[in-house]
Structure 1
């Protein structure tokens, strides 16, 4: 009995050490990826700002992200935008994704460290594939809208008010039952993870599912990013903080409403300025 107990003790100790090493490796790689993506996003945003913006009727400026510069082709512009979009999404969403990935690892942790690492990568790849597809849809719409605004001064003059209205709607969305349900899907994933099989196809589908739920939950905040400055570092930082707070805070639903109150106030201010009251 003593021999069995000692062996069991060594096995449990060994598994505990392996778990700690796995945990440190996971969070270390996540921190490195976040640091690199944030640095690249800052460099890209800074270089975009250095290119300047186009003054538009109505007293606002249009980002060069939606325009083709001299010597560029539209496929090249699209590829540049999509690459920057993906890196930006990694920097913005990774703080909220890491806890979900860790819960997935805990649920399928008996598969071996090498297999577990690849499965985690597949979940993350599926998640960011959804955001990549969203960026692919956003770019042609943004380019088309920018072209219309340059051709129609009346439409361009309405943009500041339209931005205020969109921000106001996005803030109001934070108070809805729909938002509460979507946020619960993003926060309460352990039960779903426990029912997952440890294989590549399931990991990919789980990543897609997480990405879809996350994109629904972040719909209002993503709209703010798009209309207030898709490559504006200040807007990126504010949206990232809002997403992280409502996902990671102990009472996320209440924090979502606090964020919503701030957004509603910003929307009202933007609308007041647009009509000349601010």
Structure 2
């Protein structure tokens, strides 16, 4: 998960300036915190998804169904439903993104040390929280979109029957995005980051920029996850593996294009199936 840079390896045992903590000790603490967060978020995601699976789905015209996560429970309210979904979304995104995010946060910590930050660990933590805030905003938008889709599908059966066809088009569009130059440019921003100044505002701004770049980079894979079922643990694992591979591997761009080609094929198959069912 954590890849220390050549500078950090060369300075093993040397204290950070001005924190006074050796680079190797800081690396161990950072790795321990990331590992704990990964275990907690993964456990929470599995538990939530299993609980939601027991609650069933809402059948829709056209032979598809949608999770009850998009609607309030009996006697519940929309704010409560949105809060429950956001809790699941944050746990899920933490588990999925942390393996590829941790090395970037370490880069930020190192550059904060070089910039003279008094508490570089706090700088990286604030950047991570701002990053998660961006994903939380996306999660709220996803919940609103899912709730509107559920309401529209129940009210207009003809629209519900067209959803499988639309989903095939979305997967094809996601595959085309995955192989685009803009996707690769966003991927480059997600793989490298340096602190721009020190302090709370600088850390927050860096985390927000990184979060926006990563949300954009993951747009195709996120769309694929939503279409396959946001509560599907196998789908989460596949998407998380694809995200980690394209960001951590040296051949990340090639991996991204390969994943895009697979998505294009899957979209064409789904489109053909939708036509067959019309």
Does TM, scored on the shorter chain, surpass 0.5? yes
Q: CA deviation at 1:157?
A: 0.9
Q: CA deviation at 1:12?
A: 8.2
* TM-score, normalised with respect to structure 2: 0.89
* TM-score, normalised with respect to structure 1: 0.89
Segments of 5+ residues of structure 2 without an aligned counterpart are 1-10
**Equivalent of residue 90 in structure 2, options 86, 90, 112:** 86
Q: Secondary structure at the match of 1:250?
A: coil
Structural mapping, 1:101-116, within 5 Å: 101-109=105-113, 115-116=119-120
Structure 2: distance between partners of 1:110 and 1:205: 18
2:157 matches 1:160? no
Q: CA deviation at 1:76?
A: 0.7
**Equivalent of residue 50 in structure 2, options 42, 46, 53:** 46
Structure 2: distance between partners of 1:163 and 1:240: 21
Contact 1:38 1:88 in 2 (8 A): yes
Aligned to 1:227: 227
Contact 1:48 1:65 in 2 (8 A): yes
Runs of 4+ deviating beyond 2 Å: 11-17, 109-114
Q: CA deviation at 1:276?
A: 2.2
Q: CA deviation at 1:83?
A: 1.1
Go from structure 1 to structure 2 and tell me whether the alpha carbon gap of 1:188 and 1:119 turns closer, same or farther (over 3 Å shift): closer
Moved more, 16-25 or 101-110: 16-25
Contact 2:131 2:208 in 1 (8 A): yes
Structural mapping, 1:52-201, within 5 Å: 52-109=56-113, 115-189=119-193, 192-193=194-195, 196-201=196-201
Q: CA deviation at 1:148?
A: 0.4
2:184 matches 1:214? no
Contact 1:163 1:228 in 2 (8 A): no
* Larger Rg belongs to: 1
Structure 2: distance between partners of 1:252 and 1:264: 18
Structure 2: distance between partners of 1:13 and 1:41: 37
Aligned to 2:5: none
Q: What is the count of residue pairs matched by the alignment?
A: 263
Contact 1:96 1:248 in 2 (8 A): yes
Q: CA deviation at 1:23?
A: 0.3
Q: CA deviation at 1:176?
A: 1.1
Contact 1:22 1:113 in 2 (8 A): no
